[in-house]
Structure 1
Amino acid sequence: MLQLRQEARETWMLAWPIMIGQLASTGTSFVDAVMAGHVSAGDLAAVSVGASIWVMLIVTLIGLNLAASPLIAHAVGARREAEVPALVQQALYQGFFWALVAWLIALLAAPIFPHLGLPPDVAAKAHGFLTAVSWGLVPFSLFRVLYGYSASLGQTKPMMVISLIGLSLNVPANWMLIYGHFGFPALGGVGCGWATAFCMWVTLLLMIGWIRFSSSYRATYPLRHWRRIDWVRQRELFRLGAPMGVMFFVEVSAFGGIALLMARLGTTSVAAHQIALNVASLTFMIPSALGTALTVRVGHALGAGDTHRAREIGNTGLVLGLIIASALALMIILGRHHIASWYTNDAAVLTLAGVLLLYAGAFQFADATQVVAAGILRGYKVTRQPMLIHLTAFWLVGIPLGYVLAFGWGGFAGRGAAGYWQALVLALVCAAALLVWLYLKKSRASLLR
């Protein structure tokens, strides 16, 4: 028991700055939704639909760029720090490539909004938002690589400080660009996109500066003596990162992509879905940060050859995840009406958002468990099977069932937006159960080697 408490304390000390940093990063979406929602329900709907594609892109980039983290953690655990600079450089090359691909996808996707059944003004604003915010994809992707590098060294407070600075800049930038102050035009929801892209560049520059001047990175400083592209290392990064990118995309598309399908239900459903999704995205960052910390700690233990400690760290992490989920679920369910009122004054949107937030609270247990288990498995360098689990749970169960529950099938009358959320709760339960089973299987096998 004493050992478990010690492992929990060490994991928490690494995780809590990541939690604050990720909440601050996701807080920009919260600020965007709140400030756009107080312009009009149409602006909130436009940001919702535009952000559904933006969020799918950046979450996929997070997954793709996670490949370096377990590799660096294993190297640090094995005392092979000399390998780290070249590894980070190769990850930056790949991160830049993925960002360019994401940017191209954003530009190609922007013209689809008029074909989703949205009112013309909402479709135009969604197009403008996505075009503007896509300028932040390159700095975001490079920042995430450096983020993983720093976390793998046990340096998590820089990301917290930098993300808080980015959030603090987002508020005045939104204020100027949404409402038109200091000579800027009043862009409404489109202004959120330009403000977010600006803050992405600022956070990248701050991260580069921190790494350059902090002594904590001196032994592994990666931003000098640049090597050429190492195709062997690129394949290794791709082999680990591609399944994680797919896994993250599968989950986020099940949530964000539904906003596109939900457009036919009307502006009220889209806006209410955005409120519930935004709250769920914020709370997701807390167990997600725990998963990131567990990737590092499990990777360090396995790099040092200590498989027993790796399993203890993983088991403790699952318990911590459930404790965190309990607190989040209670907060959302009891405060759902108050939370919804932060976003809008529209009575119809408030009523539906209150219903959807019940589901957002209910799935906290499954969501926290699956993201923590996936983080532990990354520490074991296991990424392909979690990808297949997510594909099964979300695309074969969640989205098809959600469509039927939302719009109906045969003699079954659809339940509207609530139907999608009911299906997503079931998908998360499936993913959580299978990922925990996979972790127990892999950790047990490692003990027998």
Structure 2
Amino acid sequence: MKPTQTIRQKIRLFLIVMMPILVTQLGLYAMNFFDTMMSGQAGAEDLAGVAIGSSLWVPVFTGLSGVLLALTPIISQTIGADRKEDVPFSVLQGVYLSVFLSVVILISGALVIEPILAYMSLDADVEHIAYHYLIGLGFGVLPLFIQTALRCFIDSLGQTRVTMLITLIALPINVFFNYVLIFGKLGFPQLGGIGAGYASAVTYWVILFITIYFVSRVRPFAAYGIFKTFVNVSLAKWKEILWLGLPIGFTIFFETSIFAAVTLLMSTFDTATIAAHQAAINFASFLYMIPLSMAFTLTIVVGYEVGAKRLTDAKQYSKLGMVIAIGMGIVAGIIIFLLREPVSRLYTVDAAVAVLIQQFLIYSIFFQLSDAIATPIQGILRGYKDVNIPFLFAFVSFWLIGLPTGYILANYTNFGPFGYWIGLITGLAVAAIALLGRLAKVEKGAAQSRLEG
């Protein structure tokens, strides 16, 4: 990262930071995308099983990894304030915390996965696939969370091209193991959708080892000597990370878990509906990586400028990011509308399921427009270390407004399963409006504090 003086320079730096993040996010989500798509080619039961398993896993992963995302503004502001000697300590505490979170996830999963799946009263084959898919994923939890902490360090330096390179290296490995484990090729057992979980776990270990190499041996990361000095666990630093990270994690959890809750509620419908819903969510979520990448970028650049007390520059980056995000959200909606039929064929060979996917995709267009506003604002606010109010907004918008609205429409009107999607759209729209107001207040408050200081 470096200071910029003109809008042209800001656009250039923003795109330099953002494009690798976008490629990285698309690459990371592509693993889930290929899990779902390739499982669907194995059969509707495999697609539904992976859908249920993924719906249980994604909110947990995104929520807890959101806690670790606190490292990005912490390190960005540290670097912006020219206190580089404090960076290694923060990174290592993030790694220690990631190990702790991994252990919590694995223990919790061992206790609750079976009861949750049993409660859903799924088809026996679907339940079996979902359970063993999650067991396979479990072997990759530890490396995934450690890598997330190290990635925050890499991105905080503005070296987002490195995480892009790591992801692009790992993606074909994931596709390869999906192919051989789902379909039983090259002497491997044919595991169907279950194989996608084990393929992802192998890929997460590969990503971790490559990331450790870069952090240890490649400049500018090696200059910080992250692994050269052992430090003890610092509960005070954990408290700082958690104080900032827990609201971030819960905000992300409330947003992603609402989709998981809808998938679980849809277990009352037939297998075709579950499969179609998850396929449509999977593709829409793939496009969601665009505003999410904007959010990550804005956290970095805004956090850097706020740390250096250049509030005018921070506000300029905010406006720039919002304009780009909204434009790309409109493009994403057009893509969904035009390509909904060929997209449906990527996920299934069943004509009835394909028609349902196309219908769900029409509703997902409205997701893109709301996400193009709400998600980048969340990234901006994290750059200011403002996380508690957005957390409350997320809870109210998604769980007190969106989910009840969807439940009523799905169960007491003729909308059926599509009612849940209308509820999701409602929650996202409310969140977007509330976050716009919050951003205006935070920027005004920061400017006043600067003048008083």
Normalising by the residue count of structure 2, what TM-score does the alignment of the two structures yield?
0.96
What is the distance in 1 between the residues matched to 2:410 and 2:103?
35
Residue 324 to residue 104, structure 1, CA distance change in 2 (3 Å): same
User: Structure 1 residue 414: deviation in Å?
Assistant: 4.5
Residue 432 to residue 227, structure 1, CA distance change in 2 (3 Å): same
The one of 366, 369, 393 equivalent to 1:365 is: 369
Corresponding residue for residue 37 of structure 1: 40
Larger deviation: 398-407 or 213-222?
Answer: 213-222
Amino acid at match of 1:434: A
User: Structure 1 residue 356: deviation in Å?
Assistant: 0.8
Corresponding residue for residue 436 of structure 1: 436
Amino acid at match of 1:332: I
What is the distance in 2 between the residues matched to 1:356 and 1:200?
31
Cα deviation code 1:163-200 (max 9, x no counterpart): 11221101110111111123221111100000001101
Corresponding residue for residue 103 of structure 1: 106
What is the distance in 1 between the residues matched to 2:401 and 2:108?
26
Cα deviation code 1:16-56 (max 9, x no counterpart): 00100110110011111111111110110000001101111
Corresponding residue for residue 203 of structure 1: 207
Larger deviation: 100-109 or 220-229?
Answer: 100-109
What is the distance in 1 between the residues matched to 2:336 and 2:109?
32
Amino acid at match of 1:105: S
User: Structure 1 residue 226: deviation in Å?
Assistant: 1.7
Amino acid at match of 1:424: L
Corresponding residue for residue 95 of structure 2: 92
Secondary structure at the residue paired with 1:342?
helix
What is the distance in 1 between the residues matched to 2:295 and 2:26?
14
Corresponding residue for residue 75 of structure 1: 78
What are the equivalent positions in structure 2 for 1:156-235 lying under 5 Å apart? 156-235=160-239
Corresponding residue for residue 303 of structure 2: 299
Amino acid at match of 2:83: R
What is the distance in 2 between the residues matched to 1:370 and 1:102?
28
User: Structure 1 residue 298: deviation in Å?
Assistant: 0.6
Alignment RMSD (CA, Å): 1.3
Corresponding residue for residue 14 of structure 1: 17
What is the distance in 2 between the residues matched to 1:190 and 1:118?
16
Cα deviation code 1:253-299 (max 9, x no counterpart): 11122111111111111101111110121111111111111101011
Q: Is contact 2:214–2:221 with CA below 8 Å preserved after alignment?
A: no
Q: Is contact 1:78–1:304 with CA below 8 Å preserved after alignment?
A: yes
What is the distance in 2 between the residues matched to 1:354 and 1:360?
10
The one of 52, 60, 66 equivalent to 2:69 is: 66
Cα deviation code 1:112-141 (max 9, x no counterpart): 323312111111111111111121111111
What is the distance in 2 between the residues matched to 1:385 and 1:280?
27
Normalising by the residue count of structure 1, what TM-score does the alignment of the two structures yield?
0.97
What is the distance in 2 between the residues matched to 1:294 and 1:273?
31
Q: Is contact 1:374–1:435 with CA below 8 Å preserved after alignment?
A: yes
Is there any run of 5+ residues in structure 2 with no aligned partner, and where? Answer: none
Cα deviation code 1:391-426 (max 9, x no counterpart): 010000111111111122xxxx34222111111111
What is the distance in 2 between the residues matched to 1:393 and 1:356?
21
Between the two proteins, the alignment pairs up a number of residues equal to 444
